[in-house]
């Protein structure tokens, strides 16, 4: 029996991505579009490069990645799942002794209005505190 993977292990997986041609409309993606399916390391790298005191919306993150990888749109489902993995991994690292400046600043994308925020181990107060500290809208 294998033990459950940590959030950090889930984040530090294969960095590959896929571009899939979709036949019918999916979420906000029109039929016949090239849809990018990213990976947790790609999301992690993107979020790490958001400057302090700057916030990026989930839509902006998805649009930026689609453009970078020459796709029409980025999959909203996998992006949400992988963003949660990145956030949980960062908080796991904080809990195990890393400083706030050594972890991925996921609060620059996740705010209390995003659905996954309430599911995170860190809680809304942590997210709101970090956003306030950087002068970001809570």
- DSSP string covering 30-46, please? -TT-EEEE--HHHHHHH
Mean pLDDT of 87-101: 98
Q: Is the dihedral of CA 130, 80, 45, 40 positive or negative?
A: positive
d(CA 16, CA 98): 27
Please say if the pLDDT value at position 46 is more than 70.
yes
DSSP state of 32: T
Is the pLDDT assigned to residue 1 strictly greater than 60?
no
How would you classify the pairing of strands 34-37 and 73-74? parallel
Res. 2 pLDDT band, cuts 50 70 90: low
- Please tell me the least confidently modeled range out of 80-84, 94-98, 113-117, 123-127: 113-117
Structure tokens at 51: 């400057």
């Amino acid at each position: 029996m294998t033990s459950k993977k940590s959030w950090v292990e889930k984040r530090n997986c294969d960095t590959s991505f896929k571009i899939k041609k979709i036949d019918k409309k999916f979420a906000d993606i029109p039929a016949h579009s090239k849809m990018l399916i990213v990976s947790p390391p790609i999301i992690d790298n993107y979020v790490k490069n958001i400057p302090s005191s700057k916030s990026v919306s989930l839509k902006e993150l998805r649009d930026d990645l689609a453009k970078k990888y020459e796709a029409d749109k980025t999959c909203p489902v996998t992006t949400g799942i992988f963003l949660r993995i990145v956030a949980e991994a960062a908080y796991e690292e904080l809990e195990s002794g890393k400083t706030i400046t050594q972890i991925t600043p996921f609060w620059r994308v996740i705010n209390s209005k995003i659905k996954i925020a309430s599911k995170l181990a860190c809680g809304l107060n942590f997210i709101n505190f970090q956003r306030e500290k950087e002068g970001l809208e809570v």
